[in-house]
Amino acid sequence: MTDRRVVISGLGAVTPLGSHIETFWSNLMNGVSGIHTIDTFDTAVYDCKIGGQVRDFDPKPFFKNPKDVRRTDRFTQLAMAAAKIALQDSGVDVENFRRRDRFGVLVSTGIGGLKTLQDQLTILLTKGPSRNSPFTIPMLISNMASGVISMEYGLHGPNMCIVTACATSNNAIGEAWRIIKFGDADIFLAGGAEASIVEIGLAGFSAMRALSTRNDQPERASRPFDRDRDGFVMSEGAGIVVVEELEHAKARGAKIYCEITGYGLSADAYHMTAPPPDGEGAARAMQLALEHARVSPDQVDYINAHATSTDIGDLCETRAIKQVFGEHAYKVSISSTKSMTGHLLGGAGGVEMAACALAIRDSVIPPTINLENPGEGCDLDYTANVARERKVRVALNNSFGFGGHNATLVATAFEK
C-alpha cells in the first residue's frame, strides 16, 4: 500500500438521538437517552418492549425519485438519509464531480431488509405467491443500500457491502481506508445502517435472551459496565462518513475532522454469539490497528467501546483493553455511547465513528450513562454519567459482531 493519507471530511448520522449531526452530538454530551417504548407494533406478547427508534423519519426528502421510497426497505432509506447528510456536511459538489469512477460507496448492514422479509412472507402465507412484490428480493438484500446510494448520485467507484454483524460499519470504513491507500479510489461514502425493530427482529433477539427487559424504565435500560445490566437495547439508524484521500480533500478546501490512521480486524474462532472469556480476539484487532497507525498504547486518549450492556461482552472487552494497554488501561478515557443510542447493530460503528471524530474536534469525552455500580471486573475509567473535557489526539473505535468478527479503527487529530 502507498503512504496516501486518509481523512474523514463529512459526517452523517440518523439516530434515536436525532438526525442532525450537532443535535446528535449535543444529546450525547448531555447524557440524553434515545430509548423508549416501541410504538410501531404491539409488543404485549414480547418480553422486551423497548428500543431506540428513529422517530418522525420521512425518507422522501432524501430521494430524487419518490417511487424509490416504495421500492426500498427502511434500512436503505435510513442509509440514504445519512449519506445525503454526510455529503452536505462534507461540501462535496457531487453534481459537478469529475472522476465519479474514483468515488466509491461502501455502506453495509448486519441484517438487511428484515421488515421486507417479514411483510412479504406474511403475504406469501396468507395470500399466495402471486401477491408478492416484484421488489421483494431487491428490497431485502443487504447490498442494496450501497447500490441505491451509488445510483442516486451516479458514483461509479468501488462499491460493495460487507456483512459482519455488529462489526459491519467498522469493516466498511476500514476497507474504504484500505482501498484509498491502495490507490483505487479517492473518496468514499462508508458506514452502515440497520432497521431491525420489527416483530421477527424483536422475537429473535428475545429468544436468545440478549435484550434488556427493563421495560418500566427504558431510558435506564442500556447500562454498559454496570452491575445491574441485563442485556442490550436494540436500535435502528445509520452512520455514514465521507472518507477521503488527504490531498483530494485539501484541493477542494474541505474541512477535516480527523485522520484515519489504523484499522485492525480479527476472528475469535470461538462461539457464534459470545466472545472468548479473555477477549483475545478483540485485543488482536486493537493491537493490529495501533500497529497500522504507528501509535503506542500510551498515546491513546479515548476508546469508544463496543460495550453493548451484556455481562460477558462488557467484561471481555475490559479484559482485552487491559491486555493491549497494560497500566495505561487505567488512564485512557473509555465510554459506551450505546448507553444513550442503544445498539444500532450494523449501523453502530458508523455512528460511533462520528462520535470519535467529534470528540477529537471538541476535546470532550461523551459519557456512559446509567453507570451507577460498576460490575465485577469492570474497573476502568468509563466516563460515568457526565461528559468530560479532555484533549483527544488519538481515539479507538471498537466494534465486535456475532460470528466472532472484530474490527477496530484508529482516528487521530489531523496535523498538516
The Cα–Cα gap between 25 and 98 comes to 33
Nearest residue to 42 (alpha-carbon basis) of 166, 262, 198, 254? 198
Distance in angstroms (rounded) separating the CA atoms of residues 314 and 377: 9
Q: Considering only CA atoms, which of 68, 196, 84 is closest in space to residue 144?
A: 68
Cell digits of residue 375: 460490575
Q: How many CB atoms lie within 10 A of CB 3?
A: 5
Q: Choose, from 166, 258, 356, 378, the residue flagged as catalytic.
A: 166
- Report CA-CA distances (Å) from 125 to 115, 119, 224, 246: 15, 10, 40, 53
Choice among 161, 343, 356, 405 that is catalytic: 343
Amino acid occupying residue 189 = L
The Cα–Cα gap between 69 and 174 comes to 29
Asked if 343 is an active-site residue, the reply is: yes
Determine the Cα angle at 282 with ends 314 and 337, to 5°.
45
| Distance between CA atoms of residues 140 and 142, nearest Å | 6
**Which of 248, 292, 306, 405 does the annotation list as catalytic?**
306
**Residue 413 vs residues 112, 125, 175, 258, 299: alpha-carbon distances, Å:** 33, 54, 20, 5, 12
Q: Is 36 a catalytic residue?
A: no
293 membership: H or E segment, kind and range = helix 280-293
Is 306 one of the catalytic residues?
yes
Instruction: Give the catalytic positions in this structure.
Output: 166, 306, 343
